[in-house]
Structure 1
């Protein structure tokens, strides 16, 4: 192991693996990757459930490729959240959903003082990272990148086709490409990073192909405790490897440990709200109030409809292959996104109010809360929340996992929008197009009719999509609440970057797996190029 690499990358997940692979393309740059979980040296070294795109390993609890933390999705509603670890991070254990951020997301982030994130700067990077099966060669798409993107990775689903027909009948337009940045509203086949049934995580697509480079060293089961800082500069890290504590020096340190662990490491290193650090017995190095102060995620919940007959259990059917997206502007918002607010509740901020309906296409009782094969689950997610949460240290034990208070549906705007999402899902499930599957006669839908009763039901069934973002947001140094600049460089400390969804000003309006890969690719290019 190189004791003095040019760059230490902490984390080999959705963003860390692409970042390390790209910067190590420069043979003059020595790179050490430290990953808390396992790092297989061959594809066969990954467990079967990690490779299997029809499985979700995190639902089985903590394991070699997953870890869990305790959170609160709403006041009084505790919730356990599972995230990936090891090579590939959460891209190794998720639903293989690989949908780009929307153009509204990029414009919003750029307008917050981050011009490198404008659509014209980002689109070439998105094209470079993908190998799109359906749209290779089409404008804005790539056909030779490391990540396979396939909307037909599995056999066609009659159930997905029924949802599509029902959505079209209700005025939602069909979209051939959900990865068109301008596709803000509509439904279609989900882009999946799946090849021959394998979930192609970033460990497979980026890290393993680069591991024979002499300037790249990757260590698994290496738990970084803190960043070493001296004279206002990051000089290395303290890490536990094989039961021994090492202090490893480097020219630059890059935190790519995810939106929970990266801000946690910042705080353990003395970067964060000074008052909170002091209360936890930590010495403040940089008073950075924005660390963990205003994070966001997608609130979600599952609507269950009784089945007329059991779905085919498991097999090689995907969990997801179709989605409906649209924007609700406020109370009374329409499917097309134009909506008024009779009671004055609304919102005009760009990107707010995005909703998604995502049906599960086969039984998955552990995830959905349904009995085996007895109910059809449909996930409803608020993709453009206005509510903001907080990540904070446990002052009694700051080294333990931080606590995340999501505060989902805290705003009246979000509750109005989520009601629309739930009622849209119920309308689809109760449609004649779904009549072959759903036993509408046995389904009591009265809970969804009255607002207050529905609000109570939503809080009772509330979850989170595990898409945490904004725990160390990027922006100009003089902008309140920012922690890094647009290149991921931490304000107030030289030689330290954050490269993961922590730095997004807010959560993208689609699932962030593709955005995490984009972060690694784009920030590596900016670091190696002029100005970054």
Structure 2
């Protein structure tokens, strides 16, 4: 593949990749962005309320974990976007920055430049918030953040029911303090999905300095004498090489570590065990995998629920499972439809209150199973391996049951069908272990930091010990934020672009600075 005089290759046209490409193009640099999937022509992408139709579709990587002992030994489905826009083309477009303490903790652990005070101006610069600018919110950014979409009357009653259950109202959960019940802010425009591909990159898609390569899977990095010179990719025309002075990997918390591992970058002994030539020892690659989890509380209704006009979920809650916690560790999410698991059945008329955990203690890993590109990766979330996660999820399910029983829901004729009246609050541990599913927020597998398990330098996002390569996506998060991960992934894209354009200091030789 001949693309002369490229300045940068970006791997992955998701939330971060599209942002970086736009910022580099605006700076006059020559960029090629590579996406494993096609353009977003599937009409189900347009309406956020159709997101369930995208799971198992050609635009879904359609991963599954290995059996999870802590979650009923089930193999949990992990949908990931394989399309322009990445997982932002498949998700619920919920805009959550996280808690102030999340970013202050990142900074405390040695990630200078990532405190709340550091990231707040960047978040504000991203946002085009429909409620206008304020001390904590932005209204001149490229990405629409909307609270004034068409609402479902069921959701308005759920918002009231949560308050009847004793949950305080939070007028703006993105202020740094997310605790309470809030109306979801979403990335939509005119009622349709509006992701970073739409907001950042598509408006400059015809720029002469931008090359968009779709339906091309990056298999490995080209590593020669400690420097990455580009990528090896499979295209409809066959296997090809693409070279540039620098490659920025934005393939997500699953695919970014996979690309590194297949390139021989990772734990040396583990690579050798599966027949991969080890080129650069980095023990943290693929480790520290963690995710948010959900467990459904589903109600049938006697009164018909209107179909969602814009979002399938419009209300969520951030609560502490124990009062002594400094930050909420649960985030229930309220859907206007029954969100049945794969092994569940029930009536079409109903709604779901999904108990959720957002500060998991459980950790897993991503590993290769063999040397060939056709050998599948092993995804182990370590789901509910920490008892603290089980306890928090049980708390959240109990809270959801309580909300669904409030006076505001009586006019709908709401009747709990899952877990169901035969399952008491004291018997919920088995239920959450047998029903927990991903909240689609995998992070941490190429974490930034300064310890010996860190993969990228927090100042530059360069991979430790290598030249010519950075990583910028959810994989670099050392700890998952309190809430949905799309907004922090876009933040990472903006900060990565700023680091590239500033040409920060060279990467240190080791992981300690």
Match in the other structure for 2:497: 524
Match in the other structure for 2:391: 416
Match in the other structure for 1:445: 421
- Report the Cα offset of residue 512 of structure 1: 0.7
8 Å Cα contact 1:84-1:90 kept in structure 2: yes
The verdict on how the C-alpha distance between 1:294 and 1:60 changes in structure 2, with shifts beyond 3 A counting, is: closer
CA distance in 2: counterparts of 1:60 and 1:469, whole angstroms: 20
8 Å Cα contact 2:298-2:417 kept in structure 1: no
8 Å Cα contact 2:65-2:379 kept in structure 1: yes
Match of 2:441 among 467, 489, 492: 467
The verdict on how the C-alpha distance between 1:327 and 1:500 changes in structure 2, with shifts beyond 3 A counting, is: same
Match in the other structure for 1:344: none
The verdict on how the C-alpha distance between 1:400 and 1:204 changes in structure 2, with shifts beyond 3 A counting, is: farther
Counterpart check, 1:138 vs 2:129 = no
- Count of residues paired in the alignment: 499
8 Å Cα contact 1:304-1:370 kept in structure 2: no
**3-state secondary structure, aligned to 1:414:** helix
RMSD of aligned residue pairs (Cα, Å)? 2.1
CA distance in 2: counterparts of 1:362 and 1:31, whole angstroms: 42
The alignment's TM-score, normalised by the length of structure 2, stands at: 0.92
CA distance in 2: counterparts of 1:120 and 1:317, whole angstroms: 33
Counterpart check, 1:405 vs 2:380 = yes
The alignment's TM-score, normalised by the length of structure 1, stands at: 0.89
**3-state secondary structure, aligned to 1:303:** strand
Counterpart check, 1:480 vs 2:455 = no
- Report the Cα offset of residue 402 of structure 1: 1.5
Counterpart check, 1:225 vs 2:197 = no
Counterpart check, 1:320 vs 2:313 = yes
246-255 or 236-245, larger mean C-alpha shift: 236-245
- Report the Cα offset of residue 194 of structure 1: 0.7
CA distance in 2: counterparts of 1:59 and 1:214, whole angstroms: 32
- Report the Cα offset of residue 71 of structure 1: 0.6
CA distance in 2: counterparts of 1:105 and 1:72, whole angstroms: 29
Match in the other structure for 2:401: 426
Match of 1:90 among 83, 87, 92: 87
Match of 2:431 among 435, 443, 457: 457
Counterpart check, 1:295 vs 2:268 = no
8 Å Cα contact 1:57-1:66 kept in structure 2: no
The verdict on how the C-alpha distance between 1:448 and 1:3 changes in structure 2, with shifts beyond 3 A counting, is: farther
- Report the Cα offset of residue 412 of structure 1: 1.6
Match in the other structure for 2:125: 128
- Report the Cα offset of residue 55 of structure 1: 1.1
- Report the Cα offset of residue 60 of structure 1: 4.2
The verdict on how the C-alpha distance between 1:480 and 1:441 changes in structure 2, with shifts beyond 3 A counting, is: closer
Counterpart check, 1:176 vs 2:174 = no
378-387 or 401-410, larger mean C-alpha shift: 401-410
CA distance in 2: counterparts of 1:369 and 1:180, whole angstroms: 37
The verdict on how the C-alpha distance between 1:428 and 1:179 changes in structure 2, with shifts beyond 3 A counting, is: same
Post-superposition CA distance 1:127-162 (Å, at most 9, x none): 11110001x2211221121110111212x3322222
CA distance in 2: counterparts of 1:488 and 1:470, whole angstroms: 14
Structure 1 unaligned runs (5+)?
41-45, 340-347
- Report the Cα offset of residue 530 of structure 1: 5.3
Post-superposition CA distance 1:387-424 (Å, at most 9, x none): 11111111375543422111222112111111111100
CA distance in 2: counterparts of 1:457 and 1:502, whole angstroms: 30
Match of 1:111 among 108, 111, 122: 108
Match in the other structure for 1:377: 352
Match in the other structure for 2:11: 10
8 Å Cα contact 1:68-1:83 kept in structure 2: yes
8 Å Cα contact 1:260-1:402 kept in structure 2: no
CA distance in 2: counterparts of 1:131 and 1:469, whole angstroms: 26
Match in the other structure for 1:153: 149
Match in the other structure for 2:198: 204
8 Å Cα contact 1:501-1:516 kept in structure 2: yes
8 Å Cα contact 2:300-2:347 kept in structure 1: no
8 Å Cα contact 2:55-2:79 kept in structure 1: no
8 Å Cα contact 1:15-1:256 kept in structure 2: yes
8 Å Cα contact 1:470-1:507 kept in structure 2: yes
Post-superposition CA distance 1:253-280 (Å, at most 9, x none): 1110111111000001111111111112
**3-state secondary structure, aligned to 1:455:** helix
8 Å Cα contact 1:302-1:368 kept in structure 2: no
CA distance in 2: counterparts of 1:266 and 1:373, whole angstroms: 44
**3-state secondary structure, aligned to 1:323:** strand
8 Å Cα contact 1:178-1:191 kept in structure 2: no
CA distance in 2: counterparts of 1:158 and 1:415, whole angstroms: 32
Counterpart check, 1:436 vs 2:437 = no
8 Å Cα contact 1:370-1:377 kept in structure 2: no
- Report the Cα offset of residue 516 of structure 1: 1.3
Match in the other structure for 1:21: 22
**3-state secondary structure, aligned to 2:171:** coil
**3-state secondary structure, aligned to 2:446:** coil
